[in-house]
């Protein structure tokens, strides 16, 4: 992992929603030092903004799911008219996505939105852009300039500049596209700089993960504004997830990227969940809630593990303490694979043995696994909250011979006797099996 690239910093939100800072590391224009803010997670509502009740419900659901910032589309006047009430009834910074009508941007600013997103490909009229910049400046609002692949803007010296950049990128696989994107950004941002406006973030999305990686890498070398990462039109969750994670991980591990949006053709709550999981996985955000690990299953499973894992995953969302829970298909390899888990279930033939920080606490039939496991998770969480237990203090680590007989596999010839049960601090202690 490389250190985060220093950028200017922008702030989104107000006293009521809380302020989300994006980027940092370069002093403010008044010389005040800034430090890189944690990478934030954004998403966009899927419903109509003018359908106020549904829009509010969707925004609140996304915020409760962990979205730091939520964007809404405002294609029509009735959408910007709805914003005022939506903003009053939600508690997360709202971005108005303005595509074709600069008037929508002005109306959104007037309604109290916290940030504007402009697409240089669609709002090109210099006077209109200046009007939006001035409106945002007056209210201290930042603007995201989103130059997607395919955006087109004209500039007088466009051909000349593209030729220059074309030389720079002549050996590059995506050289032509990169030269267009950077040319467009330079021209568009010049309008902002002429207005002494620097509260800007940049995005440069494509549906091709390799273009996204190349575009943001080159943009990060040329502009010091914070970067909003994303793969556009990534597709359904199943494939879009891979596409997005491939591009965003490559950039984030290089220190590039200050806020992310994963986009799916699906309920945006998945964008939030997967964006958070990506940041958790890279160690870029402190986990809120349970860290669930589960075995991929193999020919050893003797319970319906896929269903169990999904049921456990859903039930665990009620727990906000970052305990580590392992759901393993067998006790043969499960203990090693569940290393570091606070609470673990090892399944056998229609049964499951449950451990809490190295202590065997239950051995229950399959139909009782979910409720018993959840009871132990809740109990462990309460002990952590009361200071009676510490997360990650001990690990589950059972050394074979395995107690298959205890789990009812019928191999009782191997099941009798003791297994060695080792606590994290070392020192094997005997664990009697077959007597639960």
Enumerate binding residues for ligand SF4 (CB under 6 A).
295-298, 300-301, 328-330, 332-334, 337
Tell me whether residue 82 or residue 341 sits nearer to ligand SF4 (CB atom). 341
Least distance from C-beta 305 to ligand SF4, angstroms?
Answer: 7
Q: Are 116 and 123 in contact (CB under 8 A)?
A: no
Q: Are 138 and 112 in contact (CB under 8 A)?
A: no
Cα–Cα dist 362/348, whole Å = 13
Tell me whether residue 135 or residue 330 sits nearer to ligand SF4 (CB atom). 330
Least distance from C-beta 183 to ligand SF4, angstroms?
Answer: 52
In the structure encoding, which two tokens stand for residue 388, read together?
Answer: 């009676």
Least distance from C-beta 303 to ligand SF4, angstroms?
Answer: 10
Phi-psi region of 340 (alpha: psi -120 to 50; beta: other; left: phi over 0): left
Cα–Cα dist 79/143, whole Å = 19
Tell me whether residue 53 or residue 304 sits nearer to ligand SF4 (CB atom). 304
Tell me whether residue 168 or residue 399 sits nearer to ligand SF4 (CB atom). 399
Cα–Cα dist 102/128, whole Å = 6
Tell me whether residue 100 or residue 306 sits nearer to ligand SF4 (CB atom). 306
DSSP conformational letter for 301: -
Q: Are 113 and 94 in contact (CB under 8 A)?
A: yes
Least distance from C-beta 348 to ligand SF4, angstroms?
Answer: 10
Q: What SS3 class is residue 192?
A: helix
Cα–Cα dist 280/262, whole Å = 14
Tell me whether residue 255 or residue 408 sits nearer to ligand SF4 (CB atom). 408
Least distance from C-beta 347 to ligand SF4, angstroms?
Answer: 8
Least distance from C-beta 424 to ligand SF4, angstroms?
Answer: 20
DSSP 322-345: --EEEEES-SSSHHHHTTT-SEEE
Tell me whether residue 274 or residue 337 sits nearer to ligand SF4 (CB atom). 337
Tell me whether residue 189 or residue 328 sits nearer to ligand SF4 (CB atom). 328
Residue with tokens 């939105």: 113
Least distance from C-beta 228 to ligand SF4, angstroms?
Answer: 38
Positive or negative CA dihedral for 395, 362, 374, 309? positive
Tell me whether residue 35 or residue 310 sits nearer to ligand SF4 (CB atom). 310
Cα–Cα dist 203/220, whole Å = 11
> Residue 115 belongs to what H/E stretch?
strand 115-118
Least distance from C-beta 408 to ligand SF4, angstroms?
Answer: 15
Least distance from C-beta 346 to ligand SF4, angstroms?
Answer: 8
Q: What SS3 class is residue 274?
A: helix
Cα–Cα dist 293/328, whole Å = 8
DSSP conformational letter for 362: E
Strand ranges for 181-233 from DSSP E = 200-203, 228-230
């Amino acid at each position: 992992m490389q250190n985060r690239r220093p950028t200017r910093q922008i702030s989104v939100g107000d006293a009521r929603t809380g302020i989300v800072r994006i980027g940092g590391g370069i002093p403010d224009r008044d010389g005040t030092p800034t430090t890189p803010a944690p990478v934030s997670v954004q998403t966009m509502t899927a419903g109509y903004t003018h359908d106020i009740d549904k829009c509010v419900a969707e925004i609140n659901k996304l915020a409760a799911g962990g979205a730091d910032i939520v964007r809404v589309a405002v294609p029509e006047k009735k959408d910007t008219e709805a914003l005022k009430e939506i903003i009053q009834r939600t508690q997360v910074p709202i971005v108005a996505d303005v595509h074709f009508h600069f008037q929508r941007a002005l109306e959104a600013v007037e309604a109290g939105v916290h940030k504007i997103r402009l697409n240089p490909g669609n709002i090109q009229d210099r006077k209109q852009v200046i009007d939006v910049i001035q409106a945002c400046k007056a209210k201290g609002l930042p603007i995201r300039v989103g130059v997607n692949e395919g955006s087109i803007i004209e500039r007088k010296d466009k051909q000349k500049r593209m030729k220059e950049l074309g030389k720079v990128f002549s050996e590059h696989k995506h050289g032509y596209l990169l030269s267009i994107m950077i040319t467009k950004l330079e021209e568009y941002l010049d309008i902002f700089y002429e207005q002494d406006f620097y509260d800007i973030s940049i995005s440069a999305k494509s549906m091709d993960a390799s273009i996204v990686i190349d575009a943001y890498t080159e943009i990060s070398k040329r502009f010091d504004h914070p970067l909003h990462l994303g793969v556009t039109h990534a597709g359904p969750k199943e494939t879009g997830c891979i596409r997005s994670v491939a591009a965003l991980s490559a950039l984030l591990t290089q220190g590039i990227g200050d806020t992310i949006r994963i986009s799916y053709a699906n309920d945006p709550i998945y964008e939030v969940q997967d964006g958070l999981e990506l940041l958790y996985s890279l160690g870029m955000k402190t986990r809120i809630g349970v860290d669930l690990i589960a075995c991929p299953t193999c020919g050893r499973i003797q319970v319906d593990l896929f269903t169990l894992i999904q049921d456990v995953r859903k039930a665990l969302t009620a727990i906000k303490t970052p305990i580590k829970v392992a759901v393993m298909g067998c006790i043969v390899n499960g203990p090693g694979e569940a290393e570091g888990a606070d609470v673990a279930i090892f399944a056998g033939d229609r049964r499951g043995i449950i451990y809490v920080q190295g202590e065997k606490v239950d051995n229950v039939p399959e139909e009782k696994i979910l409720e018993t496991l959840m009871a132990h998770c809740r109990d462990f969480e309460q002990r952590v909250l009361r200071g009676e237990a510490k997360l990650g203090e001990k690990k589950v680590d059972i050394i074979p011979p395995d107690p298959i007989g205890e789990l009812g596999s019928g191999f009782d010839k191997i099941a009798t006797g003791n297994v060695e049960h080792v606590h994290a601090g070392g020192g094997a202690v005997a664990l009697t099996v077959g007597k639960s």
